[in-house]
Structure 1
């Protein structure tokens, strides 16, 4: 199977979410689930609070939040309690939001995973739109959707996750949502680079690409179309992007996030073809770039084969929406 330009990551460590700082300390409230009408039309799970989620305490906010599960607390079902309800727009499945999180062992109170791996403890998260097969599985990124869905931005939430099987511990996911993120590049326009494909955007920001006359370049070339002012993408980062890919040979599209309900995609820069990696690393969030790559930096040299893009020079237009380091910086 060919190496695609993007791979959707489904682990907690790779999920992207951000969270607003709230003042003070609080115990979860027994109320705070979304209204019945909103849940019926938009929410994947519409989880209710219960004895398990209500027992969890949270002291502090942001990176300093201390999540504690009292000894003897039973967690037999997935439950959700709201610690603080925000005042922003409602978060819905499919949204791109920023957040912080902690995944805590419900027996030992050990922090198993957290967004502190990211810059300033903040992640950018694309909330999956599909129903999770197992709400109790903390390795699935859909648990973030179940935690944050149908609540205002700025909310902090605890979600109880019962043990998936005998011998394992239950866990608690604590999430703070910060803000909705844009789904198109927001940077300043940059003058077109001579010899590169021409790019035009429709009202939604979806690009159309016109291939110039002549042969494709022998080396990968990258040009900036919009210059962002966000964080710089580093090697190995988890990036969130919109993109469209076409063949240099005939301009036909072969892959595009815009053709999938304009849903942004997430992947690690080290999991894509070389030309796509070169287009991303060193760029700032908010930028839009166009990259032209020869077969050696795409899907390989050889006789052109439409099924796997071997032998094709490729063009991508990419909107860089967010980036998250996946490793802690060296101490």
Structure 2
């Protein structure tokens, strides 16, 4: 009995020694690179790190949490971003001096690294993403993403009577019902949600979600909603869109949803467009306003 016990003890000591030896030979994991991100929401972040930066494995750090809806795989996302080369801090790309970019939240649209970094995040978050050098690159990428809303998020505004009614789908797409009356002769501008962002100024580029239908039969003729579609940018207040948009969306606030009833004279009237004789109804979500005199 004693010999057997000693044999078992000896075997255990050998196994323990082997495990300790293997652990001693295993290299310590590389510490995560230190990158400091400062700056206010809506403004280009400032990045501080020692250069050249070494990144061995992808790193995702949430600078601050979002409080909006969780991003949904396959659905649109809207981002402002700054990307730098970690070797010397050179800017690879950024959107803060222009307008934000819309993508589908898929690995195909974003690349697998960015897709994995952003999926599961919430609107309003700021995310730091460090990526090792790709093939053919000499430096890692240091990127910051600000996740912006893809639908209006303002306070509800009671609509007036006699105008089209709007119901919203799960992800914000509007369904528009036309009343059984003659269309109004003048432009109707009815905020449905009033956002808390800055006012839209002439000369800016607004990024919007929108749907347009005919008053005559309620049929849809254009929309940014739907599978594979994305929010779209438009110059506003400079004659690049129909007059009804210029007149109705300037001075609205970012985050608002606005119903426009546009008579032919402020739509496509006087052109050979197939909608020239139509009164048009739009529901527009104003997601961002960039450039223009407010940033001059």
Structure-to-structure mapping, 1:44-193, within 5 angstroms: 57-62=34-39, 63-67=45-49, 69-70=51-52, 80-83=58-61, 91-94=71-74, 101-114=81-94, 116-117=96-97, 126-132=102-108, 135=111, 145=115, 147-150=117-120, 153=125, 155-159=127-131, 162=134, 172-177=141-146, 181=149, 183-192=151-160
In 2, are the aligned partners of 1:198 and 1:212 still within 8 Å (CA)?
A: no
**Distance in 2 between residues matched to 1:313 and 1:211, nearest whole Å:** 13
What is the aligned residue count? 253
The answer (yes or no) to whether the contact 2:81–2:95 under 8 Å persists in 1 is: yes
Provide the rounded CA distance (Å) in 2 between the counterparts of 1:133 and 1:297: 37
Hey, what does 1:292 align to over in structure 2?
A: 261
Classify 1:257/1:185 alpha carbon distance in 2 versus 1 (closer, same or farther; 3 Å).
farther
Match of 2:175 in 1: 207
Can you give the 5+ residue segments of structure 1 that lack an aligned partner in the other structure? 1-49, 136-141
Match of 1:275, SS state, is helix
* Higher relative contact order (CA closer than 8 Å, sequence separation 6+): 1
Comparing 105-114 and 87-96, the one that deviates more: 87-96
Equivalent residue for 1:16?
Answer: none
Higher CA-based Rg: 2
Task: Tell me the residue number matched to 1:265.
Answer: 231
Deviation digits for residues 192-239 of structure 1, max 9, x if unmatched?
A: 166xx321325746332314533552x543222333322222345454
Give the whole-Å Cα distance in 1 for the aligned partners of 2:133 and 2:276: 45
1:283 deviates by 0.7
Could you tell me how far 1:248 is from its partner in structure 2?
Answer: 2.3
The 1:298–1:130 alpha-carbon spacing in structure 2 relative to 1, beyond 3 Å, is farther
- C-alpha change, 1:224 and 1:183, in structure 2 (3 Å) is closer
Q: Does 1:325 align with 2:295?
A: no
- Inter-CA distance 203–129: structure 2 relative to 1 (3 Å threshold): closer
Q: Distance in 2 between matches of 1:181 and 1:134?
A: 18
TM value normalised by structure 2: 0.62
1:47-68 deviation line (CA, Å, top 9, x unaligned): xxx99xx886523433232255
C-alpha distance in 1, partners of 2:105/2:60? 21
TM-score by length of 1: 0.57
Q: Secondary structure at the match of 2:247?
A: helix
Instruction: Work out whether residues 236 and 325 of structure 1, in 8 Å CA contact, stay in contact via their aligned partners in 2.
Output: no
Change (3 A) 1:87 1:286: closer
1:314 to 260, 280, 288: 280
CA contact (8 A) 1:101 1:173 kept: no
Q: Please say if 1:283 is aligned against 2:263.
A: no
